[in-house]
Amino acid sequence: MSQVFSEETHRNLLARIPHCTGREVSDWLRAVDEGPSLFRFEEKVSWLRAEHNLAYGHAKAIIHEYDLRRAARKFL
């Protein structure tokens, strides 16, 4: 069962990712974009965790942000 983070928690996790991982959020979003074509949210999270050894919360925040930005691009 996946955890549901508030918008504030999501923003806090994103802000901490560069410090905790040594890479900017934009780098992680590019990695997801260039990664395997996975459809389900949890598959993407699992891939990030396995491939890059990320914590669950950070991986989930990255995928959530990726999905938000992707949806915004389609909307425009």
**Span 30-64, pLDDT tens digits:** 999 999 999 999 999 999 999 999 999 999 999 99
- Average pLDDT of the chain is 92
Nearest to 14 by CA among 69, 49, 70, 57: 57
Helix, strand, or coil here: 57? helix
Backbone phi, then psi, for 48, in 5-degree steps? -60, -45
Can you give the residue ranges of every domain in the chain? 5-75
Q: Does 76 score more than 80 pLDDT?
A: no
* Structure-model confidence comparison of residues 38 and 2, the more confident one: 38
pLDDT attached to residue 3:
62
Q: What single-letter amino acid sits at 75?
A: F
Residue with the two structure tokens 């802000």: 15
Helix 41-52 to helix 25-34 angle, to the nearest 10 degrees? 110
